[in-house]
Structures are given as C-alpha cells and as structure tokens.
Structure 1
C-alpha cells in the first residue's frame, strides 16, 4: 500500500514542480523595454521678470500681483519741491504741459510708497502713456474734456476725495495734495493676480551695442524748462531734480522719444494753450545707457500699443533691463531739442 501510494503521488509532484519552474522563467515573448533611448531633457524654467523694468524677480517672488500698475501724476515745477516717493517708481515718463513746464507720469508696480506727491492733474497725453499696461491713474482731477476722453479710453482713475488722498498743510495749494498708493492699491484689488504686459522691449547689456559717448544729456521742452542728466556711477543723475535728497529716481537708461504736439482742445485757467503729446505713430528715438547713446526710431500702432524700437538700419533695438526715464520731447524745434556731450 505504501509503495502504491508513492508511485501515484510522484508524477503529480513532478508536474507541479515543472509548472512552477516555467513560471519563474518569465515570458520571453513580451517586448523588452528599450533603455537605449535618451530621456527627454527638462524644459528650462524662464525666469520671472518685472514688466516695467525687465529685471528678474527674486526666487519665489511673484510678478503677477493683485493690483494694476498705478501711474501717479506728479508736478515737476520748482513749486513741487521736494517731490516725495519718486525713488520707488519703476519707470517715469516726462511730458510737456502748458506754460512750457513738464509733468511726470510715475509708474508704480513692484513697490508702492505710503506717501506720494505732490499729485497734479492728468492730460489726454496720458492715454497713450498709461493704456499699454492697462494702468490706473492717480490724479488731482482734470478738465472736463480730458475726463471725457480718459473715460472713453476705459482708464480708471482716482482723484482727490478718493482713498488715501490728503492735503499737507505745510505746503501751499495746489502743490500740497498727496496720497497713499498702498491704500489706492487696496481699492483696486479684484482677487485676480495678473502680470501686466512689458512696457518696453527689454534686453540685456549684450544687446546694447554700437553706441557713441554721451555722458551728459539736455532734454529741452521749450519755454523755460530743460531736464539735465549726467552719467555717474553707472546711473544717470538728474542734476536739476525737484525730488528730495535720497528720494530721487536714478535711471539706468534715459530713453528720448521725439513726439508731435497737438492742441488739447481747451485753455488753462490763465488762458494758456494746453499741449497734447501724441504718443502714437512713429518718430526718432535715442537710447542713452552706460554713458553712450544709440540712435534709432520708435513706433506705436495705437495709443494702447506697446512701444517698439529699431536701429537706423531697421534692426530691433532693445532696452537693457533696469529703471528707465522716458523723455517725450516735442519734435518741433521751436518747442523741443536734445543735446548730449562726452
């Protein structure tokens, strides 16, 4: 009985063992993975840059904020001295107003000063200045015709009586209106973080070539005003600035754009002609950087279009990343001129 049981069990055991060994051997009919193919390289991350300077943001810092670009109209006559908060601007545009003087459109985005001023009125020229980045305007107000045109361009503005505005009683009117851009920014928050478009065609130091020496600049707006610059310590210094010491805007680049001047369609309270800088179309451009200047042209298809720049031979001209002061100098020789020297 024992022998008979052993003989019967033995073949079954051998069959089970054969099946187990076959399972351990794997299935050679399955395709083998091809490890010879190179793995895909990760796409390099494009550094985040600020739209008004082209500068790279610090690691982990967002350039899509919950407030728009805030453009503040600042008086630029000697009566405005000392201007407050100008050093924190990302970019500044100087434009002609009545009486042969100028006014500043100071752009704020990456940082917002608690106090800024003296705040003055806006002009129709500001439509072409502000709309490319869909900014809002901080202003003391404007003539009725100007407000109508600003509203028609769908540009939001904040004026006296709005958030943060106050009168500094140590100064005389109308040069005593100030505001807090931090409070204005809170009033513009809509819960959506968005990065504005680049204001200029940004580049690097390597893109700026072919310049000639230009250590001093004089941008004349006609009348009694000219803005003077000297290249010192890698920056341009405004030698007749109205800003407080230690609170001056010191640009890496001064960009001069020659513009046509038209009639804004009304007179100021003293009966003076009110000019309008036409920041649309095309004209001559001069890029002053690192103590040199490159000549070229600028163009803007529409008031809301960004500025494009080109060299004399038509090659795209880029502005090295950094702070920029833009001079909208009248092309009319009777109203404006630009000179520079070594």
Structure 2
C-alpha cells in the first residue's frame, strides 16, 4: 500500500475514493426509491375512485368500457342521452310510449320516427315489416301512419312497461292473438278504437286509408292521463358508455344490409351506412334514403341491433310469431364497428339484453337505438366500409295483391273522421277459443275479445 500511495500520490488517491463513495450513495438512493414505488408520496394525487388515469391501450382492452371520470347525473332511460336537471325533473315520472307504425309502400314517407328513442322492426304477415317507435326523452308532434298491433311488438311493449298506441290488432285463436294478449297481460292500452283514446287520433286528409291515421305523443299522453295510466317507469336501462371512454375493439362495420325475405325484394331490403361525422348509422329503404316527411331529415341512429330468432306461421292469414324468450344470435353496431354476440330474455316482462361472445353485457353509444328483428329466413351482412355495400335493388311498386289487406285493416280508402269506438278489447269481453299449448305466450281463451274487435287500421 505505501508503494501504491507513493506511486499515485496521496491527493489523487483521496479524490478517487470520493468519486467511488458518491457513486455508491447514488446507487443506494436509487434502490430505495424503486422499493417505495408501490406507495405514492403524500403530495402525489392518485386517481379518485371511479376515475381513470391517462388512457392506455391495455386499459381499454376489455369488451366493456371503463367508467367515466365525470359520470352523467341524469340520462334517458331508453337512449342513455345526458339530460339536464330541468329535463330530468320534467320527464322522470313519464312512462315510455310505444306506437305501432305501418311500413308498406303506402305508408311512406313516415312522420315521427326521427325523434324516437328506440325503434323495433319485424316481419309480419303479407311479406311486409311493421315498426314500433318508442318515445320517452323526446316528443313527436305527429306520428303517421298508426297501424294495428302484432304479438312480437306487444311482447316488447310489455317488457318496457310502455303505454301502447295502436289501431286495432290481430284477433286469432292461436299464439298470434295480439288483442287478447293486450288484455290478459294488462298492457297500458291506447287503442284508437277504444272509447277514450279514440278522441286522440285523427285522419290526415293528405293521405289515403288505411295509411292516414295520425296522432302525437302529447295527445296519447293526455289520453293516458284520462285513463289513469301513470309512471314513473320501472324499465331497466341498457348500459351506455360515459363521455371520455374509448370504444372497445370490434370489427369494422361501415355498412349493414338486412334482407327480411332473403329474396332481395326492394320493399324488404334495408341498408345502414355509417356516418363518422354525425356518429350515426343512416337508414336506407325503398331504394334510397329513409327520410321523415316533416323534417326531411334522413333517419339516423347511434346503434343498430340485428337480432335473430326462429319464427313460425301460425294460421292461414300468415300471422308470424317468434321465439322471443331464451337466447339467440345478435350483432350490435355502434361507432362504425360490429360486436357479435347473443341476446337473452328470461321471461316476457324481462328486458332483452345483449352480450359479447365472452359473456359481457354490451355497452351502447348514447343515442337512439334501432332494433332489426329477423327470422331464420332473413339474411344480413355487414361490410368494413359503406362503399362495399352492394347496390340497393331499384325500387318498383310491388305487383297488385303482394300486400294483402289484413283482416283488421279497415275498409276506408279515403280520409275519414276520427274513428268511433264501435269495437274495442275492453275488460270483461270473452270469447270461446281453443286452449293454447302449454308454455306458449298466448293468452287464455277466456281473455280473448270477440272477432268483432278486429276493425281498425
């Protein structure tokens, strides 16, 4: 050691020792700081419960988006749209209002679908579809044309606990007995051919029958008040994404094609095209954009659901019923993406819900929702871009007789006065009919109104 000191020099050796000591001290501090990384320093703010740190790819890798750092206080019960305190106070005690709307060529253009929170479409007899528009957050100054009830829609009105606006309905001795189901299931009925509600429908002189029956949400809510139907609603909302959450990864879906007959008939073929600027799917029908008769705006929805269930024709009139209980395939389209999965409904009064293939409930974009309910004979496909959709078949009016007038359509070919309550499915009406098979959704024979209850649009 004396030789080393003599060779290097005492001063230089002491400087080297100081450098080594400083390096060791730095290493010790670094190790201690890494060990304490699990607990933030007292002056470091952790994300509050229910809040998110900076978004990362891993954070949104699940099928269900995380909660928002600023959750919405009030939201529409059907479309999930944010509402102010005043809007909520004005509407919180209202019931959903479901109204049947025709969808044949004579019914077009429609009025009032553009303000619906939720719309259902399903194939009925005669090779045509029918619509049910549901209102809660917004109103419709005019709804046209109002038509008759069918069993699949009565079931949906039941699960929503909705006021049900319609004009007559199917009366059968099988599981398609819509009028009997309305009575037995205690649907909040606003039938245009019942005594009180008949005062709240009118005939539009610019349309021809039976496509001329009109009403409004204000009118029907006034009728409901007179009949003692009151809220608040007990419907269980679907899940909706909060602001600031990212859309989970789905499959690109800029275009959707739904063919109810599977035969490319123009009046049964629907397309949807994603508009990223509007953050909506735009609806096309009858060979072109589906527009509202009053606003002139094309129908646009935040989410489109295509759900499938087996169907069967139950009588010579062609009435259709579907297996609406249980589960089946479904695809939810939102944000320009497709999320494949299943629908589930445990009982008639249960809300139909939608799940990913992994079993997680799907979270919707906030905004109006359109449900395309198709049978096994129907087809549908979706494409990455709207430009990939096939050309819509040129629309030509169907040949005479393609759309047989249902037995409850009514004979009026021209504008007529407000319908008179000459026939209605009122409590206490009875008729004799064959009993329903066990386990079906048909009402009992004793609850069925007589055949005379059928006239109506």
TM category (shorter chain) comes to 0.7 to 0.9
- Alignment partners' CA distance in 2, 1:46 and 1:216: 30
Quick one: structure 1 residues 121 and 252, their matched pair in 2 at CA, closer, same or farther if it must change by over 3 Å? same
1:72 matched to 2:117? The reply is no
1:258 matched to 2:296? The reply is no
1:97 matched to 2:142? The reply is no
TM-score normalised by length of structure 1 = 0.79
- The alignment partner of 1:110 has SS state of coil
- Alignment partners' CA distance in 1, 2:95 and 2:162: 6
Q: Is the 8 A contact 2:247 2:335 kept in 1?
A: no
Q: CA deviation at 1:262?
A: 2.6
Quick one: structure 1 residues 328 and 152, their matched pair in 2 at CA, closer, same or farther if it must change by over 3 Å? same
Structure with the largest fraction of strand: 1
* Alignment size in residue pairs: 293
Q: Is the 8 A contact 1:296 1:312 kept in 2?
A: yes
- Alignment partners' CA distance in 1, 2:331 and 2:123: 18
Q: CA deviation at 1:159?
A: 2.4
Alignment equivalent of 2:148, drawn from 121, 135, 141: 121
Per-residue CA deviations over 1:138-181 (Å, capped at 9, x if unaligned) read: 11111223201121111122222423211123222111111122
Which residue of structure 2 lines up, in the alignment, with residue 156 of structure 1? 188
Q: CA deviation at 1:282?
A: 0.6
Alignment equivalent of 2:260, drawn from 221, 227, 233: 221
Q: CA deviation at 1:193?
A: 4.9
1:55 matched to 2:81? The reply is yes
Q: CA deviation at 1:113?
A: 1.6
Which residue of structure 2 lines up, in the alignment, with residue 3 of structure 1? none
Which consecutive unaligned segments of at least 5 residues does structure 1 have? 1-40
Quick one: structure 1 residues 45 and 254, their matched pair in 2 at CA, closer, same or farther if it must change by over 3 Å? closer
- Alignment partners' CA distance in 2, 1:199 and 1:260: 26
* Structure-to-structure mapping, 1:1-342, within 5 angstroms: 47-62=73-88, 64-144=91-171, 145-161=177-193, 162-189=198-225, 190=228, 193-204=231-242, 206=245, 208-222=247-261, 224=265, 225-232=268-275, 233=277, 234-240=279-285, 241=290, 243-244=292-293, 246-263=296-313, 265-268=314-317, 273-330=318-375, 332=376, 335-342=377-384
Quick one: structure 1 residues 296 and 177, their matched pair in 2 at CA, closer, same or farther if it must change by over 3 Å? same
Which residue of structure 1 lines up, in the alignment, with residue 395 of structure 2? none
- Alignment partners' CA distance in 2, 1:311 and 1:236: 21
Which consecutive unaligned segments of at least 5 residues does structure 2 have? 1-47, 49-69, 172-176, 385-457
TM-score normalised by length of structure 2 = 0.60
- Alignment partners' CA distance in 2, 1:283 and 1:208: 24
- Alignment partners' CA distance in 2, 1:73 and 1:179: 11
Question: Larger Cα Rg: Structure 1 or Structure 2?
Answer: 1
